[in-house]
C-alpha cells in the first residue's frame, strides 16, 4: 500500500489528497483494536502524521517541517506497522533538507525496548557498524521513529563483481560488533545493567518448536519427515545441552535476524538495518543465520546450491580471523535457521523462488543435515 500525499505543513497548505492513493479508511479491514486503529490512522493521515512525529521526536534535535510522502511498507496484523516518511526536516543549527524517516507502531513495549537499546549503544560506544539513529519514542502511541540508513544492500552486491571483498569487509566489522558489550564497563556488572534482552538456547528452542509446528502441518510433511525428523532431534539435543552450559560469558551483542538484505554499504561504511531483535547471545546465532540465508538465496534463484558454499567460506574465514566460533554451536544454529526457513511458505511464492514450497523445504532440510554432519 502506497499512500502518497501532497506536501503538508503547519500553514495548512497542500491538504488535497491525491487521486488513486489509499486513504486511511481503506485500511479498516486490517486495523484491529480501537487504540491501534487510532494510532495507525494518525500515522497515515497527511496532517496528523506531522504532529505525531513531532510528539515522538520532541526530545531529539530534529524539527519536522513538512510531510512530503507516506508509504506503509510492512504490516503484521496486530503486531507491527512500518511506515516510510519522506520529509522536509532539519537538525538544530542546520538548513532544512529532504530526509527519510521510518516509524514503527508496535504492540506492547517492544518499541520502547528497541529505542533504549539503540540509545545505549549509540551514546556510549564507538560502533564498527552503523545503526539507525533513534529519534524518539511515543509511549502513548507505541511509536518508534528512526532515521533511515542509506546504501546498497549486501544481497545486491553479492551478485556483482567484488562480492568477496564486500563479504570479507562485513564479516570483519561484524566480528568487532559482536565484541562491543563485553568490552564495556557495564558488562562487568552483568547483563541486567544493559537495556538489551538475552537470547539463549531456551529462546532458540522456542523458535525451533514453532517452526516444527508449521512444518508438521505442511501438506508434504509425511514425505519430509524421514529426513527432517533426525535433524529436529539433533538440533533439540544440542540446544538442551546449550541450556545446561549457558552463562553470561557467552553473551555478546548480536543482531539476531541477520541476512544479506539487512546489511548496507555506503561510502565505505557498513550499516545494519531492521534491528528489532538486537539481543545478548552467542555469536554463532548471527553467523549460522547468515550462512543459512546464503543457502536460501541460492535455492530460490536456481534450485541448487552454487555460490553459497564459496560465499560461506569467505564469510566464516574472514570472521574467524578476528574472533573464534564454536563449530558445533555454529552447525546447530545454522541447522536451526534452515529448519525455520523451510517452514515458511511465503519464501517459495512466485517471483521469489524457482522451487515450490515442498521442493524448497526439502532442500533446506538436506542442507541442515549437511551442516550437522
pLDDT digits (tens, 9 = 90+) for 302-360: 999 999 999 999 999 999 999 999 999 999 999 999 999 999 999 999 999 999 999 99
Residue 234 φ/ψ, nearest 5 degrees: -65, -45
- The secondary structure of residue 133, as a DSSP letter, is P
Alpha helices in 98-220 (DSSP H): 110-124, 154-157, 163-178, 185-188, 201-216
Q: What is the pLDDT of residues 39-97, one digit of tens each?
A: 788 888 878 899 999 999 999 999 999 999 999 998 776 677 899 999 999 998 999 99
Distances (CA, A) of 307 to 164, 311, 323: 11, 6, 24
Asked if residue 17 has pLDDT above 90, the reply is: no
**Are 158 and 304 contacting, i.e. CB atoms less than 8 angstroms apart?**
no
CA 305 to CA 189: how far, in whole Å?
45
CB 250 within 8 A of CB 337: no
| Separation of alpha carbons 72 and 341, rounded Å | 25
- Reduce the DSSP state of residue 294 to 3 states and report it: helix
Across 133-143, b (16+ Cβ under 10 Å) vs e yields bbbbbbeebbb
Query: Whole-angstrom Cα distance, residue 134 to residue 192?
Result: 22
Which residue, among 370, 344, 339, has the nearest Cα to 357 in the 3D structure? 344
Beta-strand runs (E) in the chain = 62-76, 80-91, 97-106, 134-138, 143-147, 152-153, 252-254, 263-266, 269-272, 279-281
Q: Tell me the pLDDT tens digit for each residue of 232-277.
A: 999 999 999 887 666 666 789 999 999 999 999 998 899 999 999 9
**∠151-152-153 over CA atoms, to 5°?**
120
Phi and psi at residue 138, to the nearest 5°: -100, 110
Q: What's the pTM value of the predicted model, to 2 decimals? A: 0.86
With beta carbons less than 8 A apart as the criterion, state whether 136 and 130 touch. Answer: no
Residues in the chain: 373
Return mean pLDDT, the chain: 86
Amino acid at each position: 500500500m502506497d499512500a502518497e500525499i501532497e506536501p503538508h505543513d503547519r500553514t495548512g497548505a497542500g491538504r488535497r489528497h491525491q487521486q488513486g492513493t489509499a486513504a486511511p479508511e481503506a485500511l479498516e479491514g486490517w486495523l484491529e483494536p480501537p487504540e491501534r486503529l487510532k494510532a495507525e490512522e494518525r500515522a497515515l493521515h497527511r496532517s496528523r502524521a506531522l504532529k505525531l512525529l513531532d510528539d515522538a521526536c520532541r526530545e531529539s534535535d530534529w524539527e519536522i517541517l513538512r510531510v512530503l510522502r507516506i508509504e506503509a511498507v510492512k504490516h503484521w496484523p496486530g503486531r507491527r506497522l512500518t511506515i516510510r516518511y519522506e520529509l522536509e526536516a532539519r537538525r538544530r543549527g542546520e538548513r532544512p533538507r529532504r530526509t527519510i524517516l521510518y516509524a514503527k507502531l508496535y504492540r506492547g513495549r517492544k518499541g520502547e525496548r528497541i529505542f533504549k537499546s539503540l540509545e545505549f549503544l549509540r551514546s556510549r560506544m564507538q560502533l564498527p557498524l552503523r545503526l539507525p539513529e533513534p529519534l524518539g519514542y511515543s509511549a502513548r502511541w507505541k511509536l518508534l521513529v528512526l532515521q533511515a540508513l542509506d546504501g546498497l544492500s549486501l544481497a545486491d552486491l553479492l551478485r556483482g563483481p567484488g562480492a568477496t571483498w564486500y563479504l570479507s569487509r562485513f564479516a570483519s566489522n561484524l566480528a568487532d560488533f559482536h565484541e562491543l558489550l563485553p568490552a564495556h564497563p557495564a558488562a562487568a556488572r552483568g547483563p541486567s545493567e544493559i537495556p538489551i534482552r538475552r537470547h539463549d538456547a531456551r529462546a532458540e528452542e522456542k523458535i525451533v518448536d514453532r517452526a516444527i509446528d508449521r512444518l508438521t502441518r505442511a501438506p508434504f510433511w509425511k514425505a519430509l519427515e524421514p529426513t527432517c525428523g533426525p535433524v529436529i532431534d539433533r538440533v533439540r539435543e544440542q540446544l538442551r545441552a546449550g541450556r545446561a552450559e549457558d552463562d553470561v560469558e557467552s553473551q555478546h551483542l548480536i543482531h539476531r535476524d541477520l541476512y544479506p538484505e539487512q546489511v548496507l554499504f555506503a561510502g565505505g561504511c557498513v550499516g545494519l538495518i531492521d534491528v528489532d531483535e538486537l539481543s545478548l547471545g552467542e555469536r554463532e546465532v548471527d553467523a549460522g543465520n547468515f550462512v543459512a540465508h546464503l543457502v536460501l538465496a541460492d535455492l530460490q534463484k536456481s534450485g541448487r546450491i552454487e555460490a553459497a558454499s564459496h560465499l560461506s567460506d569467505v564469510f566464516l574465514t574472514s570472521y574467524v580471523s578476528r574472533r573464534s566460533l564454536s563449530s558445533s554451536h555454529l552447525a546447530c544454529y545454522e541447522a536451526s535457521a534452515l529448519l525455520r526457513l523451510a517452514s515458511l511458505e511465503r519464501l517459495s511464492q512466485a517471483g521469489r523462488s524457482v522451487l515450490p514450497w515442498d521442493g524448497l523445504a526439502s532442500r533446506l532440510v538436506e542442507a541442515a543435515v549437511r551442516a550437522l554432519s
